[in-house]
Amino acid sequence: MNRIPARAVLALALGASLAGCASLAPQPRHADITQLLSERGGPAVDWSALSAPPAEQARIQQWLDAPMTLEAATRVAMLRSPRLREHYARLGLARAEVLEAVEIENPRLSFQRLSIEGGGHIRTTGLSLPLFDLLLMPAKARLANKDYDRARFEVAGAVLDTVADVEAAWYTYVTARQVAGMREAVAEGTAASAELAGRFHAAGNISALQLAQEQAAASQARIEALQAKADASRHRLELVTLLGLRGEEARWEASDTLPLPVPSEDEPAALVALASEGNLELLAARAEAEVLADALGLTRTLRWLGGSEIGYERE
């Protein structure tokens, strides 16, 4: 054999490798998720703090030292939410799969030395590469990138869902705390009224029935105050769980000020159009369907090449 086939084989292997490895970065493209969030009015995720625990802790402590507003609660959730941390990790795994998709099995080198009758010997050297992996590499990279896009949509959707859950939990807790404060004031007022009624009854100014009614009202108000306090504690725990806080971090105080209502509601038709065109859950489902359809087509087309190799051999 001459040297031309060997060069052709090496060129094929190198070309396929370069085609699959083009424009690949080892880390997830956080800017892509930031863009998805900004287009939908979502918060900006501080990726630098996520990758640096000391910076993350410093920023969280800064927000916890002041009365926690809705904005501060959202920022804390972006860094500490267990659900979001799981999705961030899945995004990294999806990016790793993109890198793995452009890897091929190591080339196989072979050497043989055969003795022949009459003296002498024949030496054979060879180089082989998995043909199936070489042909499938660009397609695998394409599928992995599509799956990475699906993961991006899921992560961005999880961020928006978490923001909505945190907002609802924050409003619920602040409202419950204000209700508990109101119930406590009512309980204190009815308790004072019952005490005064006891003095009036001792002086003979009111009947025993009137005294019993005042005492019953005070008892009912105290029960309602305790129930409201328990509800506020339960809603606080739900918010703490969403934020991912623990230990001393959970000793924060919420702001007493509720944001003003929005001046006007969005039109239903506009919301329907936005949901159909930009819904991240729908986009992720479409991306997954494309990946599965593409993978099925490749399987049907190239299934007969499984285990095939291409190589060069020289005597």
d(CA 135, CA 231): 62
DSSP state of 89: H
CA distances from 315 to 86, 159, 203, 222 (A): 56, 62, 124, 98
Distance CA 281, CA 286 (A): 9
d(CA 180, CA 301): 67
- Residue 254 dihedral angles phi and psi, to the nearest 5°: -90, 155
Angle at 223 between CA 221 and CA 225, to 5 degrees: 70
**List of domains in the chain:** 4-314 (1.20.1600.10)
pLDDT in tens, the chain (315 residues): 344 444 454 444 445 444 444 444 445 567 778 888 887 777 877 766 666 677 777 888 888 888 888 888 988 888 888 888 888 888 888 878 777 776 666 666 766 777 776 666 677 777 666 666 666 677 777 888 888 888 888 888 888 899 999 999 999 999 999 999 999 999 999 999 999 999 999 998 999 999 999 999 999 999 999 999 999 999 999 999 999 888 888 888 888 777 777 777 777 887 777 777 777 788 888 888 888 887 777 667 666 555 555 555 566
